[in-house]
Amino acid sequence: MSVSPARTIAFDALRRVEAEAAYASDVLHSELNASVKPEDAALATELTLGVLRWRGLLDFLLERLLGKPVSKLDLPVALALRLGLYQLRFLERVPARAAVNESVELVKRARKASAATLVNAVLRRAATETREPAERFLFPNISPVERIAILHSHPTWMVQRWLAQFGKSRTIALLEANNRPPRLTCSVHDASHRDEILGELPKFGLRIEPGQLLKTAFAVSGGSPIRTDAFRRGAISIQDEASQAVPLLLAVQLGNRVLDLCAAPGGKTPPLVRAAGENGLVIAADRHAHRLRAMRAQFERLRLSGINLVELDAQKPLPFLAQFHRILVDAPCSGTGTLARHPEIRWRLKPDQLAELHNLQAAILASALETLAPGGRLVYSTCSLEPEENEDVIAEVAQTHPHIRPAPTSEAAEALAAHLGPGVEPASLFDVAGHFRTLPGQQPSDGFFAAVLEPARG
């Protein structure tokens, strides 16, 4: 019996995520080329990301049947079991026989034929329980935090800190949002031709919905925007709505000197370039040369020129003589605001890494502030929900840079106001401390944090 292309792609993608610490989105992007049928690409994506989102619950259910931890199994056997159980539990249109038999064949394909009997037996027994809610199998004395963590398939330590930070209702909404496929959102680069550009897309099979935060944003379904003429000629890009909003907080003016300090992969740089105009200066910097090369290709697609790409370590003193009117520090972070899009992060991240990231982020922010011109503006942002990476970084750096203060909330909100869609109140995107913040389950976007900083005035 042969294995379907979709299951083969998903199995191989999951193995690379586990064995090579790859990101599923990157692996799928490289594997799902034009030769893969759309229906196979859709199923491969569903299986790969679905297994990663629900891995915690899948392992809990499997360990009941195995009598031992899934981590004790050879990786190909664990992946085949997860794939099979995910199909049995979550994909109603997949026949149980296909889910079981193809998982057995995947094990054989991985040269683990000795485990075929185990996979077959465990999944056949699991198939008889799929109508039973997972909650039925929880231990009677389980703690409330562990119960939520298992049923919503997140690490217990992560759920515990979010319950303390957000409360139960917002945490449950966040967990549910993380387990749903995120909206695929795009940006229109020339707002004056928005209707014309969007009018082209349905002929490529795409269904279009307006953005829920920004005027220039829109959501697509039914196909890939990458395969459209509008994408190829640089009229649109794929980007989360909150990510699109962050560079707008800088309020770049014509002729400004602008530094995009942690620029890769480059999605936030284009609006800075357009706002600065021909007489402006934009430097996009990153630590990794290969990421700068990828950015250059992206800018060529967008027909953007005049961007100065610089390789540097942003933790160290920056090699610029001039000061910048506007600086964007989109800092490397844990990515806990993007778990719907990158579900593997939830299983990869460890609590002690937050302190390491904090130290890195504080060093980068302090370095950037040394090049901020009088009267300038700096935006520090992450796609993290964790205080260690957000408020705590701002608080620590403020102690060594007492001349820097948060911009008034009204001014930060004003920078966004002209770009927001109908009915979106700028104040709804800022917390009580004046920081820009989005939270999955509350806003239709990834979770972002941004602080708008400026030199104290006279």
Task: Could you please state the CATH topology (level 3) that the domain comprising 241-455 is classified under.
Answer: Rossmann fold (3.40.50)
Task: Could you please state the CATH topology (level 3) that the domain comprising 184-230 is classified under.
Answer: Alpha-Beta Plaits (3.30.70)
pLDDT confidence of residue 5: 94
Domain spans of the chain? 5-133, 140-180, 184-230, 241-455
8 A C-beta contact, residue 390 and residue 449: yes
User: Within 10 Å of residue 267's Cβ, how many Cβ atoms?
Assistant: 20
pLDDT confidence of residue 332: 97
pLDDT confidence of residue 458: 60
Domain 5-133 classification at class level? mainly alpha
pLDDT confidence of residue 403: 92
8 A C-beta contact, residue 243 and residue 383: yes
| φ/ψ bin of 303: left (φ > 0), alpha (ψ from -120 to 50), beta (otherwise) | left
Burial (CB < 10 A; 0-12, 13-18, 19+), residue 93, is exposed
- Backbone φ and ψ for 257, nearest 5 degrees, come out as -90, 120
What separation in angstroms does the CA of 199 have from each of 20, 50, 210, 229?
Answer: 41, 32, 12, 12
Q: Which residues in the chain show pLDDT less than 70?
A: 1, 458
Query: Is residue 383 annotated as a catalytic residue, yes or no?
Result: yes
Tokens describing residue 32: 């799902």
pLDDT digits (tens, 9 = 90+) for 245-304: 999 999 999 999 999 999 999 999 999 999 999 999 999 999 999 999 999 999 999 999
pLDDT confidence of residue 33: 85
